[in-house]
Chains A and B, each alone.
Chain A
Amino acid sequence: MEALLDFAKGPLFRFSFAVMILGLVRIVVLDIWGAVNAYRRAGDKKLDWNGAIRNTLHWLFPVKHVFARRPVYSLLSIFFHIGLIVVPIFLLAHIQLWKAGIGLSWWSLPPVWADTLTLATIGFALALLIGRMGSAGARYLSRKQDYLWPVMLIIPFITGYFCANVVLGAGTYQLLMLIHILSGELILLLLPFSKIAHCVLMPMSQFVVALAWKFPARVDDEICTTLHKKGAPV
């Protein structure tokens, strides 16, 4: 068991972390590359840079867009994202591992905050899952990975919370720790190849939208003419 833990902490962690970083860089590069190629071929080279940047910033805090329709869901989502990002990076135990490994350390969350945020994140994730399943529209749009990811993401949070706060037998502790590490590494590994890649692809997708879907001002009539529905309301 200990050899397995060492393997998971050492080579396996290095592998999954490297795959995550390199994989994210890869999809960004491929995305830009593809966009540049598309831009070269585009007949209309005008690009709404400001709009794309504005959209990106708006979606970083999706207050304006979604608030009006699903305020609770939006708020939950924002807090869920905060917990998801802050806890693993600023947890003291994780920082100590980094320090032992490569000698770097940074500011850490006070333990009480970390525990609270962990529990909150688990709660938010479950709430989001219920919210998704409860809405017919959301159900219609959801794929399998949309249901799987919230579950997947909270496994390391649950196991991590137990390992840190509950007195356990040595065997149980090691088993939970192994699940904690392996599930975390699975997340890192799948990150660049699944919907979680939106963490870097979000601005990209805004540019793709700006590039591909644009209608210059007062083009309505032209479109209607093309569609043989001249005079129809747009």
Chain B
Amino acid sequence: MNRVKTFKTILWAITGLAVAFGAARMIFGLGAVSNLSDATPWGIWKGLNVVPGIALAAGGFVVTAVIYIMRREEFHRYAKITVLLAFLGYITAATALVAELGLPWMVWHPIIYWQHHSALFEVSWCVMLYLTVLFLEFLPTPLESTGSLAAIRRFLTKYKLVLVFLGVMISTLHQSSLGTMFLITPDKLHGLWYSSLLPILFFVSAVAVGPLMLILAVLTISALYRKPIETDILAKLAGASAIVLGLFGLIRLIDLAANGKLGLAFDGSGSAVVFLIEFTIGVLLPVAILSVKRLRRSQAGLWVAAIAGVMGIGLHRANIAGIQLVHTGPTYVPTIYEIGISLGIISAAILAFLFCVERFRMWETPWEDPRQAPEAAPEFDRVADVWLGTPRIAGRTVYSLVFIVALAAGLAIVSTDRIESSGIKEVRAVPARGGDTLFVDGNLDGYGVSFAHKAHVDREGGNASCSRCHHMSLPHDQQSGCATCHSGMYTAADVFRHDWHAGPDGGNLTCNMCHATDRERSAESAKTCDECHKDLIPTNAQITVKQYMAPSYTDAMHGVCIQCHEQKAQQLAGKESLARCATCHGQRQTEYLPAGVYEQFRDTSFNRVITPPMATGGQSDGKDAE
């Protein structure tokens, strides 16, 4: 076997395994094959295939822009390869996304169901559009050899510039909005990676690493098919890439310094070490190599710089997409199935890439001996009844055998236990604390809303207005607090307690006190609570109780506030901001924490307060402590 065949055999084997694992994932669900959980919903598929993959595919718009817009004709020979690389890169990312999301038949939902306020909505639209653009950009290449559909090929070639422009536009949008998405993680992402400049950093790093990935692909093909390497042209591309890479490093350093976070890089923590490694191999090493002309023009220099740059930027993306996020659950380690699917998708993409290289004319420059070109079609000698050259179907027996055996082995080792989520963890909501102003922080994580209770009472009309919000109270109580019934932070809770009513504490009621004797005893046939407890619902209560399942604390708080706030925002002039999230959730309400807690428990690496001691016990009220 020659090296191409060996290489492809290995790739077919990995692909076969991944198909088996992927089938298990689709049939038995995420739990059967992955270690993903509610605490770590983004694993290796996002961290390896999707977020870094999109960056590595950026050559599709960077290099085409250089060729067709900046009119640098010397790079024209790589136009087809870079488009193919980007096309396959995006398909890789999309496939990994489908593997993770599941329900592939709902993939069209973002087209119909619009979520304007989601950064992912924009990303999904851009990826859909850009995949279409890339497909149209690539389409002329396979059509070249068929001869049919020449009209389509001519049309697409004629309007290539339009496609290139579209590609640049859409890519600029979504490469940066992929960074935008992580702006919602200021208190989850480690300080060395979180930055308000993430959109810009994502875009710049994509521009830098796209050409490096192309160089890596060209070097790989040249090594596989023994094509002489045009180091002088690649060196120009690499040099330009190094400048952008340097710019990326500079922005990062200045940003860190300006925010006073540079010190975090040298505090000796694991994250700091990862940062230093990432910065060294992703920025310093390639920039250093590529800035020396002799190294830039040498094969070894190009290899090292391209691999380092690709890996470094990939690590940067992986860090942001998962590694450096705060983990609240158990440590996430990907299963062999997750790794298999991840690598399998990449292997399949490489196979598709090699298929195109062997089948279509991907190179503008002719080979010295045209018969040695990978895409050279073998001739069939009718007289001798033999192929001259390698037949295109060569190796199919080996590849298919390896593929099916790997697939079967994958099915054999895959776990067939369907694992289901244990559901949402029940968190009991803690009543709001404070006096005239209440600090509403049901899960005690230090984030909450300070609710000006007295101000609201005054505005709404004194004591007569209680029933505006308080719509149900405990028996013999007036205006019970919200958390009394809405006792689940994220889950609905049953207000009625049957055991308690039937037990000694609840008056030892017999069944027929509530249930009719002549009917089946069920919740439906029983008396309603207010038939006995006349004082349960305050007079003039404005919120009607329809059932005795109280919605979760968060839902209840949002439900009672937002409706009114949205009305007032429209009615009152100059109060438009009332309807915005940040009006209530704006600042960190440090003044309601006991003195010193914020400073003591503030994790400087993350913009975050670790759960203050109130959560673990003491009834130490914020006000009292002060």
Among A12, A25, A26, A41, which residue has its beta carbon within 8 angstroms of that of B401?
A26
Q: How many residues of A contact B (CB 8 A)?
A: 16
Q: How far is the CA of A14 from the CA of B411 in the complex (A)?
A: 6
How far apart are A9's CB and chain B's nearest CB, in angstroms? 12
Among A15, A23, A26, A41, which residue has its beta carbon within 8 angstroms of that of B411?
A15
Residue-wise, chain B 383-394 has the 8 Å CB interface mask toward A (1 for contact) of 000000000010
Task: Enumerate chain A residues within 8 angstroms of B393, measured Cβ to Cβ.
Answer: 33, 37
- Tell me the chain B residues, 363-414 only, with Cβ under 8 Å from chain A: 380, 382, 393, 396-397, 400-401, 404-405, 407-409, 411-413
Docked-complex contact A18 and B413, CB < 8 angstroms: no
Docked-complex contact B413 and A11, CB < 8 angstroms: yes
Q: How far is the CA of A23 from the CA of B393 in the complex (A)?
A: 18
User: Known contacts being A22-B404, A23-B404, is A15 close to B397, with CB within 8 Å?
Assistant: no
User: Known contacts being A22-B407, A30-B396, A41-B380, is A15 close to B412, with CB within 8 Å?
Assistant: yes
Q: How far is the CA of A30 from the CA of B404 in the complex (A)?
A: 13
Among A11, A16, A33, A41, which residue has its beta carbon within 8 angstroms of that of B396?
A33
Docked-complex contact A12 and B400, CB < 8 angstroms: no
Among A15, A16, A18, A30, which residue has its beta carbon within 8 angstroms of that of B400?
A30
Majority DSSP secondary structure for residues of B touching A: helix
- Tell me the chain A residues, 133-178 only, with Cβ under 8 Å from chain B: none
Q: How far is the CA of A145 from the CA of B412 in the complex (A)?
A: 28
Task: Enumerate chain A residues within 8 angstroms of B400, measured Cβ to Cβ.
Answer: 26, 29-30
Task: Enumerate chain B residues within 8 angstroms of A22, measured Cβ to Cβ.
Answer: 404, 407-408
**Any chain B CB within 8 A of the CB of A19?**
yes
Task: Enumerate chain A residues within 8 angstroms of B412, measured Cβ to Cβ.
Answer: 11-12, 14-15, 18
Task: Enumerate chain A residues within 8 angstroms of B404, measured Cβ to Cβ.
Answer: 18-19, 22-23, 25-26
- Tell me the chain A residues, 1-49 only, with Cβ under 8 Å from chain B: 11-12, 14-16, 18-19, 22-23, 25-26, 29-30, 33, 37, 41
**3 interchain residue pairs of minimum CB distance:** A18-B408, A15-B412, A22-B404
Majority DSSP secondary structure for residues of A touching B: helix
Docked-complex contact A19 and B413, CB < 8 angstroms: no
Task: Enumerate chain B residues within 8 angstroms of A25, measured Cβ to Cβ.
Answer: 404
Task: Enumerate chain A residues within 8 angstroms of B20, measured Cβ to Cβ.
Answer: 18
Q: B391 — nearest CB in chain A belongs to which residue?
A: A37
Task: Enumerate chain A residues within 8 angstroms of B396, measured Cβ to Cβ.
Answer: 30, 33
Task: Enumerate chain B residues within 8 angstroms of A26, measured Cβ to Cβ.
Answer: 400-401, 404
Task: Enumerate chain B residues within 8 angstroms of A16, measured Cβ to Cβ.
Answer: 408
How far apart are A26's CB and chain B's nearest CB, in angstroms? 5
Docked-complex contact B407 and A18, CB < 8 angstroms: yes
Q: How far is the CA of A19 from the CA of B400 in the complex (A)?
A: 12
Q: How far is the CA of A23 from the CA of B401 in the complex (A)?
A: 8
Q: How far is the CA of A12 from the CA of B397 in the complex (A)?
A: 24
* Candidate in A11, A16, A29, A33 with the most chain B CB atoms within 10 angstroms: A11
Known pairs A18-B407, A18-B408, A26-B400. 5 more at Cβ < 8 A? A14-B412, A15-B409, A23-B404, A26-B404, A33-B393
Residue-wise, chain B 111-124 has the 8 Å CB interface mask toward A (1 for contact) of 00000000000000
Q: How far is the CA of A41 from the CA of B404 in the complex (A)?
A: 29
Residue-wise, chain B 257-294 has the 8 Å CB interface mask toward A (1 for contact) of 00000000000000000000000000000000000000
- Ordered by A's residue number, 30 sampled pairs between the chains whose C-beta atoms are within 8 Å are A11-B412, A12-B412, A14-B408, A14-B412, A15-B408, A15-B409, A15-B412, A16-B408, A18-B20, A18-B404, A18-B407, A18-B408, A18-B411, A18-B412, A19-B405, A19-B408, A22-B404, A22-B407, A22-B408, A25-B404, A26-B401, A26-B404, A30-B396, A30-B397, A30-B400, A33-B393, A33-B396, A37-B393, A41-B380, A41-B382
Q: How far is the CA of A29 from the CA of B404 in the complex (A)?
A: 13
How far apart are B386's CB and chain A's nearest CB, in angstroms? 12
